[in-house]
Amino acid sequence: MLCYLSRSFYYLIMLTGNDLLAKVKELGDVSKSDLVRACGYVSTKKNGGERLNFTSFYEALLEAKGVNLGDTGVAGIGKGGRKLSYVATVQGNGNLLIGKAYTALLDLKAGDEFEIKLGKKQIRLLPTK
């Protein structure tokens, strides 16, 4: 389903897989912005403006072509393919930052709660649920 707005086409959903590949082929030689917009990779900014989600579009396009950018299944590899050090440093404001790569390895989600157990030389985080 699509609706016509001014001179551009907008999809109500983001295309993926074979549908995405077919749409890209169908549109041929259009601008990158129009291509991203026509495939549904558009969101609305807080101020009401339009945001074109190029990264999501290109990730979906690569996945549709058989290139998987998701979890490689290799433990200890963080963003950009860097090895994780498993060392955390207390920040200047006193916070101890664990980092997104580590929480992803543990499949932790926003809002997960932990009980903090202090030992002589260790800190243990125990899930409360």
DSSP per-residue letters across 24-35: HHHH-S--HHHH
* Closest listed residue to residue 65, CA positions, set 13, 24, 117, 14: 24
Work out the percent of the chain whose per-residue pLDDT is above 90: 5
Instruction: Give me the torsion for CA of 96, 100, 106, 112, rounded to 10°.
Output: 70
pLDDT band at 5 (very low <50, low <70, confident <90, very high): very low
Work out the percent of the chain whose per-residue pLDDT is above 70: 77
* Segments making up each domain of the chain, as ranges: 2-64, 79-127
CA distances from 17 to 41, 53, 55 (A): 14, 17, 16
Q: Which residue has the higher pLDDT, 44 or 74?
A: 44
Give the CATH fold of the 79-127 domain.
Pemi-like Protein 1; Chain: D (2.10.260)
Within 8 A by CB and 6+ apart from 77, the residues are: 83, 84
Determine the average pLDDT of the residues in 28-42: 89
Amino acid at 10: Y
Neighbours of 1 (CB within 10 A): 5
- Predicted confidence (pLDDT) at residue 125 exceeds the cutoff of 50: yes
Single pTM value for the model: 0.47
> Distance between CA 83 and CA 85 in Å, rounded?
6
